[in-house]
Every structure is written in C-alpha cells, then in structure tokens.
Amino acid sequence: MNRFKIGVLGAGAWGTALAVLAAKHGAPVALWARDANRAAMIESARETPRLPGIKLPPSLRVSGDYPAVDILLLCVPMQHLRETLRGLPPQRGTLVLCCKGLELGTGLLPPEVLEAVLPGQKMAVLTGPNFAHEIAAGLPAASVLASADAPLRAALINALRSDTLRLYGSADVMGAALGGAAKNVIAIAAGVVMGAGLGENARAALITRGIAEIARLAAALGGKAETISGLSGLGDLLLTCTGMSSRNYSLGLALGKGETLGTILQSRTSVTEGVATAPALLARAQQADVEMPITEAVAALLAGESGVRETMRTLMGRALKDE
C-alpha cells in the first residue's frame, strides 16, 4: 500500500482521474477544487460530470482547502499555474507538475514558472499520452516522470506508480515539459488537415514534421532532442493528433470544417490549451532562433491572419530541402 499522502490541485477531468487512480491503489488522497461549493457537490455525490460514470473511491476526499500532503500534483490549467503556486502554503510537499502548455506573456514552461515563483522547490513533471477518462477507468497506460534529481525521481515513481499506469523516469525536465506543451499545437494542425478533407497522408506528414520542429526547440532550450521521440513527445503527439477525445484535435477538426474559433470555444466548458500555447510557443521559438513552420501556421490561423487553405498552401510551398 502507498504510504504517502497525495494531494491533487485541480478537480477537472485530469486532476480527478489522477486522484481516482492514486486512491484506487491504496493512497489517502485529497482533491482540491477552486470553487468550495463545487467541491462540496462532488464530495457529496461521489462523482463529477467531468468524468461520467466514474465513482470516487472511499479514500478520496474533495474540498476547497489546500491539502497537507507529502506529494502535491498540480493539475490546474497552465494559465492559472503562477497564481496557484503563489497561493500555496509553506508546508506543500514535493510538487509534481501535471499541466501542459506555455505561459502567455512570458513563454515559460511549467517548471520554469515554478522556479520563478518558488526557487529551489523540489519538483518533477508528469506527462505522457494519457486521456483522463481512460486513466480513471483503469485502462492500461504509460507516462513519464521527469526530474533532474535521480533519488527524488525514483521515490516519486515508486509512490505514484500503479498496476495500470506504468511510469518511466527521465532526467530531461525541459524536453518532457516541451513535448507535452507543443503537441497541443501540432494536434490543432492535424485536426485542421482532417477537417478540411486533406487526407491521412497529409496528417502523417504533418505529425512527422511536427516531431522534427519540437525536437529542434527542445535542443535549443537545453533539453534533449531524443526525449521528443519518446512517450512525452511522439507518444503524446500520436494520441493527441488522432483521438477524438483530444480537445485540441477536435478544435482543429472544427476549424478545418469552417467553424469559427469563437463559436467553438463558446461551446466548451473545458480549456483547450493549444489555443494559448500556439502564440507563446512561436514567440519562444523566435527568441531561440528556431524555425517552427507548423506552429507559425497554427498561430496565424488562430489569430485570424490566414484561412485554412492559405495555411496549407504556405506549408506545402516552403523551400525544398533534405529531411
């Protein structure tokens, strides 16, 4: 049985799924919701509309108070991460970043935001090809736990592993965080390709070149290009670019079919991280002098600076070169 007390900040689908998984495997778990009334409703009903059909295990408690725990998983939306970190109590345990994206305005990745707010804080990044509803249902999956601190990495893997979620360790925090963020942008592009009826060949080419541009930026930021070929890069990208449960892919699909961004977002209750990530990722790439043509095309499309057909013509019309 897991002896660590685990806390999860963020009662959305992903936070709840991780809380359910940990509780099912013997850990006492506290799930925090920003809205105290919502927390009370979830606690009373023992289920949440974000994960239909999933009952909360008895050892999982939901509240609007910050939990006193050994390990704290941060599953809040990326654009709320800085605010959440600033509000944490002094006794907060080891922090595991589970959000994906870049911060608007600064272009910082989750571990960089954490270091800016809480310098020297013990931390790790949890990322990989995981849909929340499948994790909560106990279907088999794998993910990456990244930390530069080898003993901490091993301890967290031992504490968070389960019979249904296999964790692989990595020392490349930047590469893992970037893969989890950038794949959302490529997934929007993949959705656009399919929504516009451009075919499977085009999507396969786009995914492959997407991996290449993410790897270039990873190396420029001090990460490892090979990390992007693993679960936190290629694995996450394949899932997000092909699964209809992906909010980013489905948004791109709707854009490709001619729907407007405003209309799509108005119909959603959950955050589609790639919309904010695209311009932040492009700015970060430009600062590092790294070419990311797919990211650039998605950012222009989301900003209303180009249409679907024009975007595809721009990508296909780039100068020819060896792979």
Cβ atoms 293, 317 nearer than 8 A: no
* H helix or E strand, kind and range, residue 210: helix 200-220
Residues in the chain: 323
Helix ranges (DSSP H) in 167-292: 173-195, 200-220, 236-242, 247-256, 261-266, 273-287
183 is catalytic: yes
DSSP for 5-37, please give it: -EEEE--SHHHHHHHHHHHHTT--EEEE-SSHH
Cβ atoms 15, 81 nearer than 8 A: no
Amino acid at 175: G
* H helix or E strand, kind and range, residue 144: strand 141-146
Counts of helices then strands in the chain (DSSP H, E):
14, 8
Alpha-carbon 134 to chain mean position: 15
Beta bridge pairs of residue 60? 29
| Maximal CA-CA distance, the chain | 60
DSSP for 59-88, please give it: TEEEESSPP--SEEEE-S-GGGHHHHHHT-
The single residue of 5, 55, 122, 183 carrying the catalytic annotation is 183
Catalytic residue numbers read 183
